[in-house]
Structure 1
């Protein structure tokens, strides 16, 4: 058994389907199916039941998955130990879990600068909704999330991102307009619901829901409705109508945090990356953090 086999089992358990796993790790479904047959043969039994909707762990599978987690963690700890013995050279793998919004608008600039300085560091990156990153935070050296910090980790505040209601029409018309909502974590939804609860009627129809903030932005730009957008994704929309979201004269915003486990800054690549984040001036250029 190779370490990649154990990692494959963990991915299958996490994603629940062979198709989804194939898409995630960029390997064909037949190749994953064949590899899984070999692994199950190695352990002498069925690890996953293949139901029409998802993969379900068997009793043997639960035992094997626990072993897989231990193997993968021991391997990562061993690699980290070797890196700590490598003097002052910044190298090795840096695993990052980052929110989708941060990844699209800020992370490319940060990684461009970081990898130029430290070309020996290999970037292992996963992006997703902040709650997804929180749920799998133990897999990463560094997590970058929006909303609330991860309470079980050391957290540093990166920046505050004010929220604005935007539209192609004046925002005080007495006509109910479609509100274009996008998928986000419960903390953002709570902020939005708090604001909507105090709006006069008619205000909007909650009739359009999309999977990403960028889709909401593009639909709004074409006059299909209004959208609540963070400042970080709307800095190029200067010709549109906009008002800041407020509750009791208190501006509503989203905070962005970098979080990591206590002691991980002893790894040179982790310390260097967090330093890169801490010294970035986030809103000095539109949509991109710079030195």
Structure 2
């Protein structure tokens, strides 16, 4: 098996279809089918079954997919290490970042970082913190910036903490909030649980949800028109001056949302990782 074969198996396993996998790989279906047969011949094992709903991998096929994942990861590690053996700081830095942090804070960070280290290339993945955590656990990225509290066995540095708050076009009357229109948005499970726990400890009735939208920016736009109120991390309200806000509290203590940098200590031997971690420590005034 070659590197191209690893990619072929991983793509076919993900897509579950010869047609879709061929399109993703920019090869013909006959060429893909031929290569699968060659792999099966090489290992003297049937690795896929074709059905009416697509491709199903056999137990031998699943084993080879895991092997391909491992080999692809080991090859990338080898490339990273070889690149970073050079004197100058260059290479690819793979980062995973929480969506909200990526939207409101990351552009400024990367602008400053790349101005200082122009020979570093950024391979960026964004998504909910739970997704980013899985990426660093599986070693698909070098560093992660996630929000909320998560279990992680490696190095973890708190970059900042911010308030969670209610935002509304109108003045906020907390006692009357359950009777007002709430605009909800899809968000990370941990943040939604924080909001739900606060509500249950503050009110004895369910919120009056008037709208449910797919993004925090859509929600904020609707709140600005006066159609209802929203509950937000304050990171997304820093540029908003036309909304009334009120911090969420429990027992007179503000509810705070933590942003953390995650990485493995051994990866500091990679110059690109070391440079990024040091840059963030300096930016957030973290004592070494």
Question: Would the alpha carbon gap of residues 269 and 182 (structure 1) be closer, same or farther in structure 2, given more than 3 Å must change?
Answer: same
CA contact (8 A) 1:49 1:55 kept: yes
Please list the CA deviations of residues 52-98 of structure 1 after superposition, one character each: whole Å capped at 9, or x if unmatched: 5x8654323212212112211221221133134213x1111111111
Question: Would the alpha carbon gap of residues 12 and 122 (structure 1) be closer, same or farther in structure 2, given more than 3 Å must change?
Answer: farther
Tell me how far apart the structure 2 counterparts of residues 48 and 113 of structure 1 sit (CA, whole Å): 51
**Equivalence for 1:162:** 163
Task: Give the greater-gyration-radius structure (CA).
Answer: 2
The alignment status of 1:233 with 2:236, answered yes or no, reads yes
The alignment status of 1:206 with 2:209, answered yes or no, reads yes
**Equivalence for 1:124:** 123
**Equivalence for 1:215:** 218
The alignment status of 1:184 with 2:187, answered yes or no, reads yes
Question: Would the alpha carbon gap of residues 30 and 9 (structure 1) be closer, same or farther in structure 2, given more than 3 Å must change?
Answer: closer
Please list the CA deviations of residues 147-170 of structure 1 after superposition, one character each: whole Å capped at 9, or x if unmatched: 024422211111112111011122
Count, aligned residues: 274
**Equivalence for 1:242:** 245
Tell me how far apart the structure 2 counterparts of residues 218 and 240 of structure 1 sit (CA, whole Å): 11
The alignment status of 1:42 with 2:38, answered yes or no, reads yes
Deviation of the 1:242 alpha carbon: 1.1
- Report the more deviating stretch, 143-152 or 198-207: 198-207
Question: Would the alpha carbon gap of residues 269 and 42 (structure 1) be closer, same or farther in structure 2, given more than 3 Å must change?
Answer: same
CA contact (8 A) 2:163 2:247 kept: yes
The unaligned stretches of length 5 or more in structure 1 are 283-291
- Aligned residue for 2:6, secondary structure, equals helix
What TM-score do the two structures reach when normalised by structure 2?
A: 0.83
Question: Would the alpha carbon gap of residues 171 and 68 (structure 1) be closer, same or farther in structure 2, given more than 3 Å must change?
Answer: same
Question: Would the alpha carbon gap of residues 55 and 278 (structure 1) be closer, same or farther in structure 2, given more than 3 Å must change?
Answer: farther
Tell me how far apart the structure 1 counterparts of residues 52 and 103 of structure 2 sit (CA, whole Å): 35
- Report the more deviating stretch, 55-64 or 142-151: 55-64
- Report the more deviating stretch, 73-82 or 225-234: 73-82
Question: Would the alpha carbon gap of residues 51 and 157 (structure 1) be closer, same or farther in structure 2, given more than 3 Å must change?
Answer: farther
- Aligned residue for 2:149, secondary structure, equals coil
Question: Would the alpha carbon gap of residues 238 and 118 (structure 1) be closer, same or farther in structure 2, given more than 3 Å must change?
Answer: same
- Aligned residue for 2:166, secondary structure, equals strand
The alignment status of 1:224 with 2:227, answered yes or no, reads yes
Question: Would the alpha carbon gap of residues 141 and 47 (structure 1) be closer, same or farther in structure 2, given more than 3 Å must change?
Answer: farther
Question: Would the alpha carbon gap of residues 279 and 30 (structure 1) be closer, same or farther in structure 2, given more than 3 Å must change?
Answer: closer
Tell me how far apart the structure 2 counterparts of residues 51 and 111 of structure 1 sit (CA, whole Å): 47
Deviation of the 1:134 alpha carbon: 1.0
Q: Equivalent residues in 2 for 1:48-63 (5 A)?
A: 52=53, 56-63=56-63
**Equivalence for 1:146:** 147
The alignment status of 1:71 with 2:71, answered yes or no, reads yes
Deviation of the 1:195 alpha carbon: 1.0
Deviation of the 1:223 alpha carbon: 2.0
